[in-house]
């Protein structure tokens, strides 16, 4: 007896599945498929490019790419204060930070040792540098471009 009930249940289930697959979309479903994208969908389509698209654009422009890193490399701008060493610059980077206790803006200066392979930059030039692997004991930055020459 139990075999017969199981058989009937399986037959009913397959009949219901066949009926569901054979039905055509309702009028509402057809309208939804045929309509234009909504305002929200249009906004989503018009958003800024993804990180992959941005990387492709940067590569085409010759900019350094973060190579899909989870934590992209830092970029800083500063003034060259020394070019005495061979293929190395010292760049002063100024940053303004809020003092935690007194809530006053404080200007801090960091000296970065930067690799300049062609010895292009001179004292007083404004340069853009980006983070790189350690090149020596102190050098962790590489010259990206000279933004403005000294007068």
- What dihedral do alpha carbons 21, 22, 27, 32 form, nearest 10°? 40
75 shares its domain with 6: no
CATH number for the domain harbouring residue 139: 2.40.50.140
| Measured distance CA(105)–CA(114) in Å, rounded | 27
135: left (phi over 0), alpha (psi -120 to 50) or beta: alpha
Structure confidence at residue 55 as a pLDDT band (50, 70, 90):
low
In a domain, 60, yes or no: no
75 shares its domain with 144: yes
In a domain, 61, yes or no: no
Q: Which pTM does this prediction carry?
A: 0.55
Q: Is the pLDDT reported for residue 4 higher than 70?
A: no
In a domain, 35, yes or no: yes
For position 61, what pLDDT does the model report?
Answer: 46
For position 145, what pLDDT does the model report?
Answer: 96
Query: pLDDT, tens digit, for every residue of 85-135?
Result: 999 999 999 999 999 999 999 999 999 999 999 999 999 999 999 999 999
In a domain, 97, yes or no: yes
Range of the domain at 13: 2-45
Token reading at 115:
């690799």
38 shares its domain with 78: no
For position 30, what pLDDT does the model report?
Answer: 61
Short-list 131, 94, 92, CA closest to 111: 92
DSSP 42: H
For position 112, what pLDDT does the model report?
Answer: 97
Mean pLDDT of 28-32: 60
When mean pLDDT is compared across 22-26, 39-43, 72-76, the lowest value belongs to: 39-43
Domain count, the chain: 2
38 shares its domain with 95: no
In sequence order, what are the beta bridge partners of 141? 114, 131
For position 60, what pLDDT does the model report?
Answer: 43
79 shares its domain with 126: yes
Averaged confidence pLDDT in the chain = 78
Structure confidence at residue 56 as a pLDDT band (50, 70, 90):
very low
Short-list 58, 140, 137, 133, CA closest to 93: 140
pLDDT, greater one: 60 or 20: 20
């Amino acid at each position: 007896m139990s075999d017969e009930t199981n058989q009937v249940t399986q037959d009913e289930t397959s009949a219901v599945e066949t009926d569901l697959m054979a039905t055509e979309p309702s009028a509402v479903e057809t309208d939804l498929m045929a309509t234009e994208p909504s305002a929200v969908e249009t906004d989503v389509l018009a958003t800024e490019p993804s990180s992959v698209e941005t990387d492709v654009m940067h590569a085409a422009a010759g900019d350094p790419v973060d190579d899909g890193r989870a934590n992209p490399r830092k970029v800083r701008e500063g003034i060259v204060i020394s070019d005495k060493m061979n293929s190395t610059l010292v760049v002063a980077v100024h940053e303004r930070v809020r003092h935690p206790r007194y809530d006053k803006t404080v200007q801090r200066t960091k000296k970065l040792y930067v690799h300049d392979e062609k010895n292009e930059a001179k004292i007083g030039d404004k340069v853009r540098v980006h983070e790189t692997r350690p090149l020596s004991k102190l050098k962790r930055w590489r010259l990206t471009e000279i933004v403005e020459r000294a007068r």
